[in-house]
Chains A and B, each alone.
Chain A
C-alpha cells in the first residue's frame, strides 16, 4: 500500500517557504502523493493554487486534491486550471472531488447548497468533455490546454451518501474517504457495485485518509488543530481529534489494517506545519 501526505495548508501560521519545503521533502521521501484539503470561508491556502506551486518543485509525487468541492466552482475554469496543473506536472494530478457540505463555503461563493448534487453531475460531464477536447458549450471553441493524461486527470469520488458513491462507476477512477474501517467497507462496497453496474473493468482505486501528529506535544497540537478546523461543528471536532494517531506504532497498525481491507493508498493528514512532522513520519515508517 502507498503512503501519501497532506500539506498543512489549513494549519495556523503555515507560510509559503514552509509549503515549498514540505513539497520538496515529500518528493524526496517515501511518499506517493501530496494532498491538499479544500475550504473556502477559512484561512487555508487555496488547494489548486498550492498544487500548481508544488508541481513546479517536484518531479515524482502525485498531486492530490483530498478532496475538492466542485459545485462552488465554474466547471470550465476548473477544467482549465486542472489541465494546466496536469501539463506543468507532466500528468501527476489526481482530483478527489466531492459535492461539498459546509454552508459557509456555499454562502461565501454565493452558490446554492440546494441542487448541488445535480450541479455536480453536470459539472463532471462538462469537465470530461473539455478534457476530451470538445467545446464547453455547443458550437463554441475548445478550452485548452489538453491535459498530459489522456482524457484528463485521474478522478476519485469522495462522499458517503449512496448518491455520492454511485458516481464512482460513471465518472471515477476510484473512491476517496476519510472515514474509519467499518464505513470504508460499507461505502467501498457501494463503489464496487457502481463500478460493476457501469461495466468497468478491474476495480476502483481506494484511497483513505487519517490525521496524525507526532512528537512530545502531539496531543496538544492535535487538539489545537481540530478545535480550530472543526469550530463550525464541535461534535465532528471531538470525533476527529479522538481518531488522530499520535504514535508511529498506531500509524503502522492502522496502515496494516487498511492494507488488509484492500486500501491502495493511505493519506496522512498533519495537524502541525513544522517539517519535523514529516521527518518523524519518514523516520518512523522507514
Chain B
C-alpha cells in the first residue's frame, strides 16, 4: 500500500519555508502523495495555492486535496486553477472533493449550506465539461488550459452520507475517507454505474511522533476541532503516536482494501516526516 503525507498547513505558526521543506523532503522520501486539507474560516494555508507551490519544487509525488470543498467555490475558476496545477506538475494532481459541512466556511464565503448537494452535482458536471475542452456556458469560449491528464485530474469523492458516496460511481475515480465502513457503499455505486475494476480507496489518519507526541496531538486537535465542542478527545484518541501503531493501522486499512494511506501531521517541524520516513524504513 502507498503511504502519503499531509502538509502541516493547519498547524499554528506554519511558514512558507516549512511547506517547501516538507514538499522537497516528501518528494525524495518514500511517500506517494503530498496532501492538503481545506478550511476557509480558519488560519490554514489555502490548499490550491499551496499545491501550486508544491508542484513547482517536486518532480515525482502526486499532489492531493484531502479534501477540498467544492460548493463554496466558483466551479469555472476552480476548474481553471486545477488544470493549471495539473499542467505545472505535469499531470500529478488528484482532487479529493466533498460537499463541505462547516457552517462557518459557508458563512464566510456567503454560499448557502442548504442547497450544497445539488450545487456540488452541477459543479462536478461543469468541471468535467471544462476539462474536456467544452465552454463553461453554451455558446461561450472554452476555459483553458487543457489539463495534462486526459479528461482532467483524478477525482476522489469524499464524504460519508449515502448521497455523497453514491457520487463515486458517477463522477469519481475513487473514494477518500478516514473511515473504511463506507467503502462498501462506494463499491456498490461503482458497480451500479457499470464501471470496470474498483474505485481507488484512499484513507487518512492523524499521527505525531517523538518524545512529546501526545502534547502536540492535544494542542493540534483541540484547536482544530474547537468548532465541534466535545469532539477533540475522540480525535486525540485516534491519532497514531508510534511507528508501531502506524504500521498496524497500515495493515488494518490494507485489509479494508485501501490503496493509499495519507498520514496527517499535528506539528509543523519537518522532523515529523523524518521520523516517519525512518520508522517506515
Q: Contacting chain A: which of B103-111, B176-184, B185-193, B242-250?
A: B103-111
Whether A84 pairs with B45 at a CB distance below 8 angstroms is: yes
Q: Mark B47-72, 1 if CB is under 8 A from A, else 0.
A: 01110111111000000000000001
Residues from 164 to 205 in B contacting A, C-beta threshold 8 Å: none
- Complex CA distance for A77 and B76, rounded to whole angstroms: 14
Whether B16 pairs with A77 at a CB distance below 8 angstroms is: no
B89 interface contact, C-beta 8 A: yes
Residues on B with C-beta less than 8 A from A146 are 43
A210 interface contact, C-beta 8 A: no
- CB-based nearest A residue for B58: A56
Whether A77 pairs with B72 at a CB distance below 8 angstroms is: yes
A235 interface contact, C-beta 8 A: no
- Complex CA distance for A43 and B54, rounded to whole angstroms: 22
Q: Mark A79-117, 1 if CB is under 8 A from B, else 0.
A: 011011101111000000000000010011111000000
Whether B137 pairs with A141 at a CB distance below 8 angstroms is: no
Q: Mark B84-97, 1 if CB is under 8 A from A, else 0.
A: 11011110000000
- CB-based nearest B residue for A90: B16
Known A-B contacts A80-B40, A84-B46, A85-B49; the reply to A53 vs B143 at CB < 8 A is no
Q: Which of A55, A72, A73 has the most CB of B within 10 A?
A: A55
B42 interface contact, C-beta 8 A: yes
Whether A84 pairs with B88 at a CB distance below 8 angstroms is: no
- CB-based nearest B residue for A57: B56
Known A-B contacts A40-B80, A41-B141, A45-B87; the reply to A55 vs B108 at CB < 8 A is no
- CB-based nearest A residue for B111: A74
Whether B57 pairs with A46 at a CB distance below 8 angstroms is: no
From the candidates A40, A56, A77, name the one contacting B143 in the complex (CB within 8 A): A40
A237 interface contact, C-beta 8 A: no
Residues on A with C-beta less than 8 A from B104 are 140-141
Residues on B with C-beta less than 8 A from A141 are 41-42, 104, 108, 227
Whether A16 pairs with B135 at a CB distance below 8 angstroms is: no
Whether A72 pairs with B74 at a CB distance below 8 angstroms is: yes
Whether A107 pairs with B43 at a CB distance below 8 angstroms is: no
A15 interface contact, C-beta 8 A: yes
Number of contacting residues on B, CB 8 A? 53
- CB-based nearest B residue for A148: B16
B272 interface contact, C-beta 8 A: no
Known A-B contacts A137-B110, A143-B40; the reply to A43 vs B146 at CB < 8 A is yes
Residues on A with C-beta less than 8 A from B227 are 141
- Complex CA distance for A44 and B84, rounded to whole angstroms: 9
Q: Mark A107-141, 1 if CB is under 8 A from B, else 0.
A: 11111000000000000000000000001110011
Residues on B with C-beta less than 8 A from A45 are 84, 87-88, 145
Residues on A with C-beta less than 8 A from B211 are none
Whether B140 pairs with A57 at a CB distance below 8 angstroms is: no
A170 interface contact, C-beta 8 A: no
- Complex CA distance for A52 and B74, rounded to whole angstroms: 19
A20 interface contact, C-beta 8 A: yes
Residues on A with C-beta less than 8 A from B143 are 40-42, 108
- Complex CA distance for A111 and B272, rounded to whole angstroms: 44
Residues on A with C-beta less than 8 A from B72 are 74, 77
13 A–B pairs (Cβ distance < 8 Å), ordered by A: A40-B80, A46-B83, A48-B49, A50-B88, A53-B56, A56-B56, A108-B135, A108-B136, A110-B76, A136-B107, A137-B107, A137-B108, A146-B43
Q: Besides the contacts A54-B56, A73-B74, A77-B40, what 10 more A-B pairs have beta carbons closer than 8 Å?
A: A40-B76, A45-B88, A50-B84, A55-B53, A56-B52, A77-B109, A87-B45, A110-B74, A110-B76, A143-B41
